[in-house]
Structure 1
Amino acid sequence: MENTYELHVAGLTRHLPICAVNEHMDIAAFIMFSDVELTVACAKALLEKCPEFDIIVTAEAKGIPLAYEMARQSGKNYIPARKGPKLYMSEAVIVEDKSITTEAVQRLVIDKKDLDQMDGKRVLIVDDVISTGGSLHALEALVGKSKGQIVGKAAALAEGDAGERDDIIYLEHLPLFFK
């Protein structure tokens, strides 16, 4: 039988598989992809907790479903920071980050025209899970290259020590499992 963690979030229950990060720590894998019910419920619950905003920024790829649904429900736009430069980007702006769920350093890339869309806007940064804060820091750095103002940083879950932060908005805490 697979080892799982029972999560209660946004009025729903999910059983998350426990996955080894290294020989000392496991995490409960929270994946919104293909779980429309969970994505819709988390987006609604997060929107109720977030301040007024004009635009959402998220990181590719796991934050996209939540950011999209929050944008859809609020009627606001969202901008995904991509993992690498794309051909359509006329002026790519790049920052690097390190995440608990990936081995290598990741790049987040946004086109200058997307940064220009943030100018004078209230920006809400959204991700599925905030853990070490690496992706969050990279998104803050990208938004900082615009004239937009970050009004909030939100995620469905705060993992590990992130649950003790007072600068993020989240629905539930997700523990880390130490061996």
Structure 2
Amino acid sequence: MSDTYTLHVAGLTRELPICKVNDHLDIAAFIMFSDVELTVACAKALLEKCPEFDVILTAEAKGIPLAYEMSRQSGKQWIPARKGVKAYMQDPVVVEDQSITTAGKQTLVIDRKDLDYMNGKRILVVDDVISTGGSLHALDALAERSSGIIVGQAAVLAEGDAAQRTDIIFLEPLPLFVH
């Protein structure tokens, strides 16, 4: 097997390193951090596919560059769900999820004031890659603690079986490498 996977997305091409998850599974590592050109292009392409929304909700950390850029381009607010309770949070709301790239359970936390901000708003849930859907499920659970309505779930890539889902918005599929 090759050491990289060639990805074509949003008019750009990137070579993604192939990384071992376990003895039976490898993934192509998609990292937007520090790739400004890729982040800007993917945000623009995703915004063209997304329904009208008022606020973006994403998970720390890999979804942050994309959510920020989508926010900047759309002029809409974005809110990050943090990986743990922070000292500045007055009334943290916590959910747990399981992610393919995180060993064990992952905690996502949002402050009550951010949930209050989402009340009555159209919420777009955003992540860099959707694979098992664990992070999306946790973000949805947080959003559902507000009176806002989730209008879409979007990602740059849908990995493995996620590419067959009809309830998500994504730019390109990303294969899993099973052996």
Tell me the TM-score normalized by structure 1: 0.99
Partner residue, 1:88: 88
Cα deviation, residue 104, structure 1: 1.8
SS of equivalent residue, structure 1 residue 21: strand
Distance 2:12 2:92 in 1: 39
Distance 2:104 2:120 in 1: 34
Aligned letter for 2:133? G
Aligned letter for 2:101? T
Q: Which runs of 5+ in 2 are unaligned?
A: none
Residues 55-111 of structure 1, C-alpha deviations (whole Å, 9 max, x = no match): 000000000000000000000000000000011100000000010001121100000
SS of equivalent residue, structure 2 residue 5: strand
Residues 105-163 of structure 1, C-alpha deviations (whole Å, 9 max, x = no match): 11000000000000000000000000000000000000000000000000000000000
SS of equivalent residue, structure 2 residue 61: coil
Partner residue, 2:54: 54
Distance 1:19 1:58 in 2: 24
What's the Cα RMSD here? 1.0
What percentage of residue pairs aligned between the two structures are identical?
A: 76
Tell me the TM-score normalized by structure 2: 0.99
- 1:67-106 equivalences in 2 (<5 Å): 67-106=67-106
Q: Which runs of 5+ in 1 are unaligned?
A: none
Q: Aligned pair 1:11/2:14, yes or no? A: no
Partner residue, 1:168: 168
Residues 24-59 of structure 1, C-alpha deviations (whole Å, 9 max, x = no match): 010000000000000000000000000000000000
Distance 1:15 1:69 in 2: 22
Partner residue, 1:117: 117
Distance 1:148 1:85 in 2: 22
SS of equivalent residue, structure 1 residue 128: strand
Aligned letter for 2:52? E
Distance 1:60 1:54 in 2: 20
Distance 1:149 1:155 in 2: 18
SS of equivalent residue, structure 2 residue 142: helix
Aligned letter for 1:47? L
Aligned letter for 2:134? G
Distance 2:25 2:68 in 1: 31
